[in-house]
Chains A and B, each alone.
Chain A
């Protein structure tokens, strides 16, 4: 924890937070990264296998095979979420399951299942993008900013 975080706290609070911090179980960052690499890598390898499968057997090119590959991964992730398995893999795999497209599918599916009890419109419709929403908002926004920068550089006679 940085010192900045302690600034607003009273000396007693600061003392307690240090006291508590010493007694919390430590997370092995290295081990967690290794697990994330393994799980994330496995998901991507499956994706690669799917892509090759579509290219070899279904007349897709390497570029067009992307769409069916992602669709299969999303379907698999949604299915595993519905069966209640995905969150257990995620507890072990950490960022390995969150970063690939399967993680995104999981956020949407889990929220949709969870809020089914409040009806299709207010429940499923209103909450489906509860977790995925910010990713879309800031994804689109940052793409917009990058595009503006690119155009500005081009206009000023930079990279053609």
Chain B
């Protein structure tokens, strides 16, 4: 390990070239998004589900073929797939995401009404998971083999083997039913007259906690192993030898080295977090994107599926970009302009 000199230059130079990287990534993002949307339409075409029957629900069994054909014609879902795709792209370029056939409203209003809650759930959970896993993982590594480390690892393995759905129901049974601390579900109190932030926050504590607990083990074990590893690194041993305080050594030297691969992995782990969020939304009856996504997939609702896929892809691409930038910020050896 080489010793760093000229700390002042380091600060300014680290993110040099970030703009170029962002530009380059955006250029790559366009073909990725196009490929994703084409793939989505192709998958949809392979689906044998009739969106008109899906729309009719139980009435499909008492609705005449003629009536269903009229509805399909109104939607243009019988048109050839390339025609449907081009129509969709044309509307997209004009800022119109289309009409959701499963939700009966413009796709933009479905997203506007629901994406915020899902993003809030995921965002808060991610922050909680990262903070908790860095802190607890580092502490466990510091006293490797100690009581805290063993208990934490046992708990992590146990939680990892529990389905999110089950953790959610168990949390409701304990914290909502037995103890009465938190509401069992919903976004606001059922009789509330409006959506107030304290009410929403109160309702989100349990879902965020459940999602965080279910996602944490993976991060936690990773941090613990990486920190334990780097505690044996030369520069960490050197820092200790120089007599630096334990906290400085742990968080300033060991954790910092261990952070690098972790940042990349956060980006790749994001889809799993989204998957967990869908289940948590179901258990806690939150009006997020989870339920509508399932409904859209079952009902061959192309416009809504395409929009959700695009948004998710964009979020994952952005997360990867952010991870790379963070990597550059955290590791002086990585040069963005290189």
A and B together in one complex: no
